[in-house]
Amino acid sequence: GAGVSQSPRYKVAKRGQDVALRCDPISGHVSLFWYQQALGQGPEFLTYFQNEAQLDKSGLPSDRFFAERPEGSVSTLKIQRTQQEDSAVYLCASSAYRDRSYEQYFGPGTRLTVT
Amino acid sequence: SQQGEEDPQALSIQEGENATMNCSYKTSINNLQWYRQNSGRGLVHLILIRSNEREKHSGRLRVTLDTSKKSSSLLITASRAADTASYFCATLGVYSGGGADGLTFGKGTHLIIQP
């Protein structure tokens, strides 16, 4: 079956531009996570959805970051007024259960470069 | 912030040898997971071990968990060139909310298998 997909795979933005990153989770997966991975580092948690409810957004680095999942499937991570420090790979993951203690399936990521 | 610390940061071995990577973490966990990441690709889940388990096997993989020492190890037996990748341990905390709903990753071990 299809895995988690993300688009675009690569995005170059000029500083100050807004960007929107899309995540299509595995069909039927209840839980959805966003992570940010800087070069040479492990991923860092950003936010967590259970269906359409955003249950934890305390990992979002600033109020320029906003995520939504309005119908409980596709999710969008939006970054307003991008800064150079936002350059990273943004990973989306989904999990089949409400219980967050099960394995997560990751998408290929969107590599964002802010110039 | 990253909770886990993998050791070593880099490891180069000959094909056919065994590879051992270690992970230490700081807070109480629900479970610990190991992921593999190839260059330019997403994270692939390898194995999950729960806090009440001490050892788990999956194919050529063996994971141990010592909650008293807050440490885990991943052993890959009979390594192959295709095992070349970065390996990350990730922990899920006992408590939810406040940024703890997602996995907390270490910085990873970069494993190179020489043919």
Tell me which residue in A58, A104, A109 faces B103 most closely, judged by beta carbons.
A104
Res. B20 pLDDT band, cuts 50 70 90 = very high
Nearest CA in chain B to A92: B42
Record: contact A42-B96, CB cut-off 8 A: no
Higher-pLDDT residue of A28, B3: A28
Largest CA distance in chain A: 39
Give bridge partners of residue B35 from the DSSP assignment. B45, B88
pLDDT digits (tens), chain A, 115 positions? 589 999 999 999 999 999 999 999 999 999 999 999 999 899 999 999 999 999 999 999 999 999 999 999 999 999 999 999 999 999 999 998 877 778 899 999 999 999 9
What pLDDT shows up at residue B23? Answer: 94
The pLDDT value given to residue B93? 86
Query: What is the distance of C-alpha A22 from the center of its chain?
Result: 8
How far does A66 lie from chain B, in Å, by closest CA?
15
Residue B110's nearest CA partner among B75, B72, B83 is: B83
Interface test with A, best of B30, B43, B46 (most A CBs within 10 A): B43
Any B CB within 8 A of A89 CB: no
pLDDT of residue B46: 95
Q: How distant is the Cα of B102 from the closest Cα of chain A, in angstroms?
A: 6
pLDDT in tens, B53-105: 999 999 999 999 999 999 999 999 999 999 999 999 999 988 776 666 789 99
- Whether B41 has its CB under 8 Å from any CB of chain A: the answer is yes
Cα distance between residue B30 and residue A113, in whole Å: 35
Contact A26, A4 (CB under 8 A): yes
Q: What is the pLDDT of residue B97?
A: 67
Q: How confident is the model at residue B40 (pLDDT cuts 50, 70, 90)?
A: low
The pLDDT of residue B98 is 65
Instruction: Tokens for B15, please give them.
Output: 């094909």
Chain B contact set for A108 (CB, 8 A): 41-42
Share of chain B above pLDDT 70, in %: 90
Please tell me the predicted confidence (pLDDT) of residue B100: 66
Residue type present at position B3:
Q
Burial pattern A69-80, b for ≥16 Cβ within 10 A else e, equals beeebebebebe
pLDDT of residue A97: 80
**Residue B2: its pLDDT value, please?**
52
